[in-house]
Structure formats: C-alpha cells, structure tokens
Amino acid sequence: MSNFVRTIQFFPMKRYCWLLLVAVLPLLSQAQRSFQIGCIGFYNLENLFDTLDAPNVQDEEFTPRGGYRYNTEIYVDKLGKLARVISELGTDLTPDGVSILGVAELENRKPLEDLLQDPKIKSRNYQIVHYESPDERGIDVALIYQPKYFKVTASRPVPVPLPHNDFTRDILFVSGLYDGEPLHLLVNHWPSRSGGEAASQPLRNLAATICKDLIDSLQQADPNAKIILMGDLNDDPTSPSVRQILNAKGKKEQVEPGGLYNTMYDFYKKGIGTLAYQDAWNLFDQIIISHGLINPKTGGYQFYQAQIHNKAYLCQQTGQFKGYPLRTFVGTNYLGGYSDHFATYIYLIKELKP
C-alpha cells in the first residue's frame, strides 16, 4: 500500500472501516486517521451460460448436446469457481469484499442468481441489476451490489446501435447512493475485435462516444458528479476509443474538472494485463473514473488504489500458455478454469472525522 499502512487490528463499525496509519516520513512520526473503505470492481465471467437451449439465441454450443458438452456438472463447477474469485475481491482491506461488481458474458439473469447462492458469497446478499441485451449470442452485462452499501435509485439499458442491423451488448447505466453519496455507474462490454482490430475499431469508437455523451451530460448537471465507467472494452488504455474519444488520462494530475482518469493505465504501461493472446497481454477490463472521485470538492469518497486480481491459482501453470488466465475451455475441451479474464477493482476511501 503506497502511502497507507494498515494496522493488524480490525475495529468493527457499522460500515467497512479500517484504522490506517499515514506515514509521515520526513518527520519520522505517525498520525492516526480513520477511513471507511469501499471496493468496486468488474469481472468478465467468460461465457456464463445456463445449460438450456434458448429460442432465438445462438447458445446451442453451451448445452449438453452442444460442442462444449456443457452439462450441469460443468455449470455447477464454474459457478463455484467464479464465486471463489468474487469472494476474494477487496478482502485485503474490507472484510465484506467487493460492494459493487459489474459483470459481463452472462447469458441471462438465472445463472447470476445461481452464482449468488453459492455459500462463499450468499451471506453478502448481493442484489442484481440486469436487462436482456440484443446480442445475438445472448450475452449480457449486469451489476451486483450489496444493499447495505449501495441503494439503486435508477437504472436503464443504453443501446449501442451498430450499422447494418448488427447487434451488441447494451451499456448498463445505474445511479444510486453509495453509503449515502450519489454515484453513477456504466457497465460495458464493447464490440469485439472480430474481423481485425482496425476494421472493428469504429464499433468500439461508437460505444465510447455514447458513454462520453452520457458522462458529459452527468457532469454538466453536476460538475462534481462521481462516475465510474467499467467493463470489457475490447480495447486497451491507449486505444483510440479510450485515449482519444473518452480522453481518459493515465495520470491523476492530468485530469481537469470534467475529465476522466483511467485507473488501469499504469498496469498496462508496465506490461500487466487482464487477458493474454498470442504471447501478448491486453488490458481490456478497465475502470475509469470522473474527476469528482479524484478531488471531491464536496468531500466523501475518493479514489485510493486500483488492483488486478491475478493470483497464481488463476493462472495456467504449465505448457504453452503458462501464465495466461486459466480459462474454462480450450477449444471445446473443458479445462476447468475460472475465466479468460482477470477481475479488476478499485478502492474508494472516505476519511472519518474524529
């Protein structure tokens, strides 16, 4: 932890609060300050389908008779493994773990309901915000949240109208109160790089433009609005959709009022990613925040730290793809992994006045 040193003892409070010590190195002294800490993240669940053949959806491969032989045993095993990951996110600093989590590659609401019943996370009482998307494979985005920390006040799907009557995932827009503070969230799964990165770039640029317009409208209404854009963007922090259209900066000090900060930029510049392809790392799973979470003029929560959940057990240990995320399938062979993406998350902190 950069400027903060956590004490060993945990002091229970109504909310998630750790006593932290701020090291004042020049004075060789320490001053006690108490903070409430919140964790918000994103996780691509890698094809979390149910086992049923739904009408008008291209999900046949993910059925017992399909190419993946996707049966109840595999389904239950995958749910348990995803629940393990979710149970761990953020627990380094807050015992309740991630309070809000955006997810992608979910076939419908039912697998998410089943996932949240897993004993590893059931006690957190996660609630769901989900709408069916027009994606031809039937995969959606959704948001889960712990209601003791977040209260939803509004939500809606925001379409991304692709050319040639093609379809992709909607953007999920959710507003609410995070520990009493207004917070807006955009959960994304932008169009893939199918057909090539350059050829498909305009589709992701379109999704970015829709997000930027929505964020601009929120910040025009409230210059101090606290906004989090998260998702599998199918682009890196330096891609045109992110760096040019969203204009998401890689350094906090570069962000002016009305601007955005990419909390994942430094990881990417260090060669750390969330998925690997052809011996190269990409960082598609990004969390981008508004200026209001960097320098909140109204006080309250602000950005503290970003993390990628890339523990060793989530990585392939041997073979040609050693070090890659340990995925569920390789081809149509069941590998028994977790996801082909690592989860990402950020910590928000709010100082408690004595």
Per residue in 277-325, pLDDT tens? 988 999 999 999 999 999 888 789 999 999 999 999 999 998 888 999 9
DSSP SS3 for 132: coil
Whether 305 and 2 have beta carbons less than 8 Å apart is answered as yes
What CATH class has 4-352? alpha beta
Residue type at position 51: T
Cα(18)–Cα(352) distance, integer angstroms = 10
pLDDT level of residue 353 (50, 70, 90 thresholds):
confident
Of 23, 78, 72, the residue nearest 46 (C-alpha): 78
pLDDT at 186 over 90: yes
For residue 219 the two structure tokens come to 């910040």
For residue 68 the two structure tokens come to 């993946």
pLDDT level of residue 31 (50, 70, 90 thresholds):
low
Whether 199 and 155 have beta carbons less than 8 Å apart is answered as no
Cα Rg of the chain, angstroms: 20
Whether 91 and 38 have beta carbons less than 8 Å apart is answered as no
Sign of torsion over alpha carbons 59, 61, 62, 63: positive
Backbone angles phi, psi at 87, to 5 degrees: -65, -25
Where do the structural domains in the chain lie, given as residue ranges?
4-352
pLDDT in tens, 122-171: 999 999 999 999 998 889 999 999 999 999 999 999 999 999 889 999 99
Residues 6+ away with beta carbon under 8 Å from 126: 101, 116, 144, 145, 146
Cα(322)–Cα(309) distance, integer angstroms = 17
CB hemisphere CA count around 211 (13 angstroms): 34
For residue 199 the two structure tokens come to 């050829």
DSSP-assigned beta bridge partners for residue 154: 175
pLDDT at 25 over 70: no
Of 64, 135, 139, the residue nearest 103 (C-alpha): 139
